[in-house]
Amino acid sequence: MTFAFPATFRPEPPVALLTPDAVRAAVPDLGKLLCACVEDGAGIGFVLPLPETKAEAFWQSRLPALEAGEAFLMVARQGADIAGVVMLALAPQDNGLHRAEVAKLMVHPAHRRKGLARALMAAVDGLALSLGRWLLVLDTVTGDRAEKLYPTCGYRKVGVIPDYARGSHGALDATTVFYKDLR
């Protein structure tokens, strides 16, 4: 499979689905967004200090999956700024072609409380359905603000894994696992 916009999916503004080329061009802005969120304490896989070069390298490392159509990236814009982002990674296994993982939902601290995370999550639902994926999974740091968001978006809590990963400040954090059935 190679990247192609799903024929039946068009996100509502301010959300946009980016092509791999658009992601490549946006790597510096995506890197700044990632750094700002990690500096604000987001538990999204990075520990401080996070140099912009490392943040940019992360987004560049996602390009092969985006180009192969194995993952998709959507952004929410505020004016010309990328204010938020979310990824949908398709399960590649033959027995998992009905499921996908929601990953790297983040909204810049200066753009929070404007409904962007909720808009990105609604767009992920539409994208997943357009790709024939109806079971979504995700995880978040236990106690993080996102843990309260996901149930309001229809996600059900599976459970908590203690000491799952280091948070942005280096301490071990638990993670809460969620799923959503879109059928």
What values do phi and psi take at 82, rounded to 5? Answer: -80, 110
pTM: 0.95
Write out pLDDT tens, residues 155-169: 999 999 999 999 888
SS3 content of the chain, % helix, strand, coil (to 5): 35, 30, 30
Mean pLDDT score of the chain: 96
Query: 1 pLDDT band (50/70/90 cuts)?
Result: low
To the nearest 10 degrees (0 to 180), the angle between helices 20-39 and 52-67 is 140
Question: For the residues 129-142, what does the mean pLDDT come to?
Answer: 97
Pick from 63-67, 70-74, 167-171: least confident: 167-171
Strand partners, 160: 176
What values do phi and psi take at 171, rounded to 5? Answer: -80, 150
Alpha helix positions (H), the chain: 20-39, 52-67, 116-130, 145-152
Question: Which strand (E) or helix (H) includes residue 74?
Answer: strand 71-78
The residue behind tokens 């604000």 is 40
Residues with Cβ within 8 Å of residue 80, at least 6 apart in sequence: none
Write out pLDDT tens, residues 26-50: 999 999 999 999 999 998 999 999 9
Using DSSP bridges, classify how beta strands 156-166 and 135-141 pair: parallel, antiparallel or unpaired: unpaired
